[in-house]
Amino acid sequence: MVTEIYERVLGFLEDPAGDRFEEIALAVFRHQFGGCSPFRLYCESRGRNPASVRDWREIPPVPISAFKAVDLCCGEPERVFLSTGTTQGIDNRSRHAMPDLRLYRASAIAGMRRFLFPDVDRLDLVSLIPPVAERPESSLAQMVAWAGEEFGCDGMVECVAAGEPSFETLVDSLRRSERDGAPLAILTTTGALIHFFDYARERSLEFRLPHGSRLMDTGGGKGAPRPMSRKGILHSVWSLFAIPGYFAVNEYGMAELSSQYYDSVIRDRFDGVHRGRVLMSPAWLRAVILDPKSLSPLPDGEVGLVCHFDLANAGTSLAVLSEDIGTIDGGGLRLLGRAPRAEARGCSISSAEWQLA
Amino acid sequence: MPEAEKEPETRDELAFVVERLVASRCALLGRDPRSIAAVVERAAEQWLIDESPWMCRAVDALAAAGPFSQAMLRYALPRMIEPLVDGALERLIEREVGGWSALERVDSPTLVLHVLPSNLPGHAAIPSALTLLLCSAALLKPGRDDRVFAGMWIESIRRVDADVGACVASVYWAGGSREVEDYAMNAADVVIAAGGDAAVAALRARCGGRFIGHGSRLSVALVARDSLDDLAAAGVVDDVAIWDQRGCLSPQVCFIEGSLDDARAFARRVQAGLSGASEVLPPARMEVGEILDERRFRDRAEWRGFAAGETDLYAVDGPPGAGSIAIEREFRLESTPLHRCLRVVAVDDLARVAALLAQNPARIEAAGVAASPQRFEEIAHALHSAGLGHVVPLGTMQKPDLSWRQGNRPRIAEWCGIR
């Protein structure tokens, strides 16, 4: 029974044609309601159950803070991933316990194929993301490892060792690509990329990568030496690597999800679509914008909390309420930042936490 | 009805106000401070009479300008003024200075700048009254949402005695007006500031003279095993609901002596009480960030309960801020997002709480205790020994009189160097 629903989702990930999202989402909800006791208690507290939920948007979204309190896993976890803890500290990390890793792998690979590599089977890959051997708890590290297996000509050139970036290794790969005329894909955190901008500027380095080279960055400003706008990043990617904006993709993912959003630019170019840069998701991941106060859905164009419905989370939590603010615009998702926290007021200590234990 | 002085845009505009204050203060120097106390007390009484025009207008104006409802303001604003009547000023002078005659030998500051916090309205009353008592002039910089009250309060003093009223001015300026702020900080002999830690620290760094800062603190409630009843719950509800915990005298953590089941039973009593309170004292309007903080607080407790198959959250149905009670399984002190969010911690013996608070007494403002008379004395003694200055019966935490030493400090002795 358990594998049946996962097989059904895997089938949709492999062939997402047809309007099956709702039907599968409701089946996944039934599975999670029956297979995850904390989730069932949560749904019951909201008066929701498989009999009352008729639309996938009615599935109660799980706040990401729930992943800090409980393993939302329908069965024994095969693998547990942790968030970075950037926002609330290392001791307050989300745990995403997955009972069937195939779902994450299939979703991640299909997403990359659709949005990063729609035009190529394989190419040289280089990564500024800590490798999975060093960070086995990182879902991003695992995704990059799978990228190397599926899309790398010769696996993945790792440019991080013992937690530290090895920019010399990256420079070697970039020079090799220039010399051989073989396009290169750079996978990096945004923070490491900005560090490399500074490293290259200090050394007056510049690269002219061959056409078809591309860059994927992710993770927002975590670990960055300074803030940079998306426009500034794209400008620097062009001037430093000669990678044009339409081959520079920002990925948006969360440890609590099994699927990712990507800038639409490579896919749009491949499909001959002309529009502005928006975050697109595969067919099995949908975003709904909710009113921050009431948590009721908002129409397209309005700004609110981003709620994700990810079928690849079939073994954990299909509906995840993030703390990101965004809007659905131009057919895709636009992220506008993190949900606000209250301004500290007056003489009574508020969210600026301090503890005695 | 007068409001605060026009917002000064330049140093010269503020200098004009300061020079006027200092000149007016000369009229106080020859006066018997008892007469000044009488003026202040008379003004305060005008605010506290039934259907006081001052109070009615202030409630209307503050409800329009800030987050609090008229019902909350009618209930809570008088508490900001009540400490000034019934001879309380004389008792304060006796306690801190040694009596009226001793006051003649005090070297009073010419000008005291009070940077008032923005958490609650009505902060202007007591500091200005106490400053006048020292025959000093008071320059008040009220919080953003409290500009109306300060101006009205000063006018009410003027109506009683124009000379005394002329020694107080309320001047609001938005943060960031460096030239104006620097002038104000340096024109005053003493700067007294209350607010968030960061804001107080920033002001302290810029102050050239004497600076007294009151940073962020929190308060706790303690309920003894013999008092886990509706009366104690009602006390918690009152202390939590008034001003929606924005004041540092509101408890954010309630330690109950008993088991987790006892904690849950007590939380249900508080939940019921807060539910009723939200009808009578509607919660303040909340900004999006505040609503999300409240939801995070609820989510964390609720999911911890789901994980254990138990209930760890007792939320009040109603608008945001109506009330949220979280059962904490760990014995520790952790603040809440305010807005009637309360942590309930079960402990086998309340004596352990004193030991916990003793780890950082400088961050604890007050404790409200519900216990039989004998236990109350025992608990209060332990808390005083742990460094807490303000220990009162639960349900009265939000009614401090002038004997409350904010931050464990004397009210006025420190302003003029008397300890």
What confidence tens digit (pLDDT) does each residue in B338-376 have?
999 999 999 999 999 999 999 988 889 999 999 999 999
Q: Where are the domains of chain A?
A: 2-99+283-324, 103-276
Q: How many Cα atoms sit within 13 Å of A87 on the Cβ side? A: 18
- Provide the shortest C-alpha distance from residue B305 to chain A (in Å): 8
Vertex B230: Cα angle to B227 and B236 (nearest 5): 85
Q: Across the interface, do B196 and A346 touch by the CB < 8 Å criterion?
A: yes
B3 band by pLDDT with thresholds 50, 70 and 90: very low
Q: How far is A132 from chain B (nearest CA, A)?
A: 29
Q: How many CA atoms lie within 13 A of A155 on its CB side?
A: 5
- Beta bridge mates, B328: B345
**pLDDT: which is higher, B227 or B173:** B227
Of B196, B214, B320, the CB nearest to A344: B196
Q: Residue B205: pLDDT above 80?
A: yes
Residues paired with residue B413 on neighbouring β-strands, in sequence order: none
User: Which pLDDT belongs to residue A351?
Assistant: 33
In this structure, are residues B62 and B145 in contact, taking their beta carbons and an 8 Å threshold? Answer: yes
CB atoms < 10 A from the CB of A338, how many? Answer: 12
B86-94 own/partner pairs: CB under 8 Å, 24+ apart: B87/B41, B88/B401, B88/B402, B89/B37, B89/B40, B89/B41, B89/B129, B89/B130, B89/B133, B89/B402, B90/B34, B90/B37, B91/B402, B91/B403, B92/B130, B92/B133, B92/B402, B92/B403, B92/B411, B92/B412, B93/B33, B93/B37, B93/B133
| Confidence check: pLDDT of A18 > 90 | no
- DSSP secondary structure string for all residues of B359-397: TSGGGEEEEEEE--HHHHHHHHHHHHHTT--EEEETT-T
A223 has a pLDDT exceeding 90: no
Q: pLDDT-derived band of residue B107, with 50, 70 and 90 as boundaries?
A: confident
Å between A238 CA and nearest CA of chain B: 37
Interface test with A, best of B116, B285, B298, B303 (most A CBs within 10 A): B303
Q: pLDDT tens-digit profile of B290-334? A: 999 999 999 999 999 999 999 999 999 999 999 999 999 999 999
Considering only residues B418 and A305, tell me which one the structure prediction assigns the higher pLDDT. Answer: A305
- Is the distance from CB of A319 to CB of A59 less than 8 angstroms? yes
For residue B184, the distance in angstroms to the closest alpha carbon of chain A comes to: 20
Q: Is there a contact between B216 and A37 if contact means CB atoms under 8 Å apart? A: no
**DSSP letter (8 states) at residue A86:** T
**For the segment A105-118, what is each residue's pLDDT rounded down to a tens digit?**
999 999 999 999 99
A341: chain B residues, CB-CB within 8 Å? 289, 292-293
Q: How far apart, in Å, are the Cα atoms of B173 and each of B176, B179, B180, B199, B291?
A: 9, 11, 8, 15, 28
Least confidently predicted of A12-21, B118-127, B409-418: B409-418
Q: Is B194 helix (H, G, I), strand (E, B) or coil?
A: strand
Q: Which chain B positions have a beta carbon within 8 Å of A46's beta carbon?
A: none
Mean pLDDT of chain A: 92
Provide the pLDDT for residue A341.
Answer: 72
> What is the average pLDDT value for chain B, to the nearest integer?
92
∠ CA B37-B41-B47, rounded to 5° = 155
* B119, B359, B360 member nearest A345 (Cβ): B119
What sign does the dihedral A219-A220-A222-A226 (CA atoms) show? positive
CB < 8 Å to A70, chain B: 303-304, 306-307
Say if residue B70 is exposed, middle or buried (CB neighbours under 10 Å; 0-12, 13-18, 19+). Answer: middle
User: How would residue B214 be classed by pLDDT, with cut points 50, 70 and 90?
Assistant: confident
Note whether A356 contacts B333, CB cutoff 8 Å.
yes
Contact (CB<8Å) B195/A348: no
Per-residue pLDDT at A355 exceeds 80: no
The pLDDT of residue A279 is above 90: yes
d(CA A249, CA A266): 7
CA distance A219 to chain B (A): 22
Partner-chain contact B306 A339, CB within 8 Å: no
Q: Examine the pLDDT at A142 and tell me if it is beyond 60.
A: yes
Report the range of poorest mean pLDDT among A28-42, A138-152, B397-411: B397-411
* Yes or no, beta carbons of A348 and B337 under 8 Å apart: no
Burial classification of residue B62, based on how many CB atoms lie within 10 Å of its CB (0-12 exposed, 13-18 middle, 19 or more buried): buried
Binned at pLDDT 50, 70 and 90, residue B419 comes out as: low
Give B234-283 pLDDT, tens digit per residue.
999 999 999 999 989 999 999 999 999 999 999 999 999 999 999 999 99
- A348: nearest CB among B250, B293, B330: B250
In chain A, the percentage of residues whose pLDDT exceeds 90 is: 83
- Give the rounded percent of residues in chain B with a pLDDT score beyond 70: 97
**Domains of chain B in sequence order:** 11-216 (3.40.605.10), 218-393 (3.40.309.10)
Lowest mean pLDDT among A13-22, A142-151, B101-110, B347-356: B101-110
Nearest CA in chain A to B334: A355
Distances (CA, A) of A118 to A258, A272, B6: 20, 12, 64
Q: What is the DSSP letter of A189?
A: E
> Is pLDDT above 60 for A21?
yes
The residue whose two tokens read 């926002």 is A87
Residue of chain B nearest A70, judged by CA positions = B307
Q: What is the pLDDT of residues B45-68, one digit of tens each?
A: 999 999 999 999 999 999 998 999
Residue A346: its pLDDT value, please? 47
Mutation choice for A interface testing from B306, B328, B332 by most A CBs within 10 A: B306
Chain A partners of B289 at a C-beta cutoff of 8 Å? Answer: 339-343
Instruction: Tell how many helices (H) and how many strands (E) occur in chain A.
Output: 10, 17
The string of DSSP codes covering B231-254 is HHHHHHHHHHHGGGG-STTSEEEE
> In angstroms, what separates the C-alpha of B162 from chain A's closest C-alpha?
32
Q: What is the pLDDT of residue B177?
A: 74
* B166 close to B158: Cβ distance less than 8 angstroms: yes
- Do B412 and B96 contact (CB within 8 A), yes or no? yes
State in words which class domain A103-276 has.
alpha beta
pLDDT of residue A86: 59
What pLDDT is attached to residue A348?
47
In residues, how long is chain A? 357
Nearest CA in chain A to B291: A293
Distance from CA of B240 to the nearest CA of A (A): 12
Separation in Å, CA B97 to CA A42, B94, B113, B213: 59, 6, 21, 21
Q: Per-residue pLDDT averaged across B123-136, rounded?
A: 94
Kindly determine whether residue A38 and residue B307, on different chains, have CB atoms separated by under 8 Å: yes
